[in-house]
Each structure stands twice: as structure tokens, then as C-alpha cells.
Amino acid sequence: MENHTENEKSSFVKELLQWAAAIILAAAVAIFADKFLIVNAQIPSGSMENTIMPGDRIIGNRLAYTFSDPQRFDIIIFRYPDDESQLFIKRIIGLPGETVEIRDGHIYINGSDTPLEDVETKEPMEGSFGPYTVPEDCYFVMGDNRNNSRDSRYWEHTFVTEDEILGKAVFRYWPVNKMKFL
């Protein structure tokens, strides 16, 4: 009888250790993924409406720019240049070395007479801003809700540096009924 009880205890301890090992391994994989593969962001404001709505949750790819540079119209997750403790999400408009000017609600790159063929925004943009000459290794970004977005046009540190970019937004996973690739 004693031998049977000892076997039960031993079996219980083995199972407990297996569960603990599985939980520790899952936590390690999750931490590794969050630190090196993905960035998880929640949208706090309406600055990216109607592309991304307040309360949406986004997954970004931390490796997206390992072998290529960010491109115009990419949606990026980055550390806010005026307070790097905050994460922001915006769309790249101006690339390194370009001059961005906004005249009467239209974006012009490098003095072109033809406005940039922009993405679909919540409403037509108003106002004139710039010109802004984007330094090397930096990006000029704007929200898709152009009339209600605190972005490069308004910041003290106008540009997002390459080092501040955490990843490219790739997937909205919340709310579940609106899951989609960005």
C-alpha cells in the first residue's frame, strides 16, 4: 500500500513539473516574440480613423525593416519623438531627403506641381503646412484622420527617426469582428 501511495505522489510531482515546464516555456516564447518579433499596440485616439479606430489592437512586425527601408504609406508603430515612453502609430508620408509641403490640403513632394496620390482619408485635409525637409534616417508621418491628428506637422521634434520605429503595422486583431491585414 505504501508503494502505491509513493507512486501516486511521484506521478503527481512529475505531472506538476511537466505543467510548470510547459507554462515556463510558453511564457519564454511569448516574451521572446514580444521583444524581438512583434509589437502589440492599442489605438488610443481617432488620429488614424477610418483605417484604424480607437480601441483597436494592432500587431506590428519588428522584423519588417531588417532587410528593407520603410516605404511611403507604410503604417508604423514608433516611439513618439517628443516623449519616447509613448507609442504612436501613423502613416509614412515623407521619406529621407524629401521635402514635404502641404498646400490647401494637398501634399506635395520635392516641389512637384502634382499633389501626392494619397491614401483614402476620413475627410479632405484642410490647411497649409511646411515645407519640411526630411533629414536622413528620418520620416515625416501623418495620421489618416488628417484634420484631427497630432503628427509631424505639430511636434517639437518633427520627424520619426529610424531608431524610433518599432515595427510595421500588419494586422488588426481586435475587435474580432473587424480582424484584417493592414
Catalytic residue numbers read: 47, 90
Q: How many CB atoms lie within 10 A of CB 151?
A: 21
Task: Give the DSSP letter of residue 36.
Answer: I
CA count, 13 A, side-chain hemisphere, 111? 1
Q: Cell digits for 115?
A: 499633389
- Please, how many CA atoms are within 13 Å of residue 108, restricted to the half-sphere of its CB? 15
Omega of the bond prior to 175 within 30 degrees of 0, cis? Answer: yes
Inter-residue contact 101 to 132 (CB < 8 Å): yes
Helix (H/G/I), strand (E/B), else coil: 177: helix
The C-alpha cell of 84 is what? 519616447
φ, ψ (nearest 5 deg) of residue 140: -100, 125
